[in-house]
A and B are shown apart, each in its own frame.
Chain A
Amino acid sequence: MKDPDHRSEARLYLAGFGLALTLTLIPFALVHWALLQGRTLAITIAVLAIAQIVVHLRFFLHIDLSRQKREDLQLILFTVMLLAIMALGTLWIMGNLATRM
């Protein structure tokens, strides 16, 4: 790795790796040592997972907020919106049906 650009980009990957690893370690630790319970635990896991997904997107998939090309970001956000409608809708409907059986 002679190229300084190369080295700095590699360092970014390592930073992403470190962050992602931390965000993995925490929830596993929380569950393994039963540090949190119930709802709090569920919410914490969800928040950490979303944070880790953002880290992956930023450091490995290079999706960022730079102004140059937004098509990628728009595509992802649009997908997330449709998926949220479909998946949350499914949970809502099926959950409601389950309570009424």
Chain B
Amino acid sequence: MKTSLRWSLFFFLTPVLLWLFLLIVLPHIDLLIMSFRMDTDDGKTIWTLSNYLNFFHEPIYWLTFVRTAVYSIIVTLLTLVITFPLAFYITKVVGLRFQGFFMTIILMPFWVSELVRVYGWMILLRESGVINHFLLKFGLLRHPVEMLYHDSTMIMGLVYTSMLFMVVPLISVLESLDDGLIEAAYDLGANMWHILFKIIIPHAVPGIVSGCIVVFMLTLGNYLTPNLMGGKNSLWFTEQIYNEFIASFNWNQGAAFGFLLLVLSSLVIWAGLKMSGQKLSQVVQ
């Protein structure tokens, strides 16, 4: 009995461990080694810290880095603020009958690839795009304005892309909130804000944190949306990594950047968990 259990555990765990090792651990070890090495002019490869030092010496690198971090946090918070009322509305206000309908509507944009979605935004927003066309037609504008390639457009695009990953954990956590608690609080004299901050949000913390972690990681690591919607002067750190790998062929530098990004996301998530008093294992559930 015991041995058969052990065997089945072994049987199911092996592919998972193998997958983890081959696709995650191994490449990362390789990248880590690579990030501490450099090709010298005379064709030799030496151990060095210069890839990391470069990052701190070149303002463009760490400025992009900080920018990416700050914008990712902003995107995460914006997504939360926009999605929370939506999730509440879907779970508690709309009847059960329409819940599926609303979920489908939210899911629908995600049936197409991110590229197509971003392209959709571009059709809407560009100088010769749909919105400009109508604004001109109704005489609200004299000359078309370029709405793409601003930081605000990029943030909007990122928020849009992230909403699904926030709304799903929020809906599941709000669904588990007993309506009776809201009514009881109301009966005991609470107004809308008390109910929100004393009952609903404390109950929803695990969902909020897990949604935020996912959205933050996806935004930080997003390449397509900042690249296409942000334009030339809103650089995202993933673009820097891409440039090092593909444009400059400097894999060692790219690997170092990749590791810095990993450290950054781990740090921010750790700080977020500390602040909300949650444990990773609880949140992931």
A-B complex is real: no
User: Which residues on A are within 8 Å of B, measured CB to CB?
Assistant: none
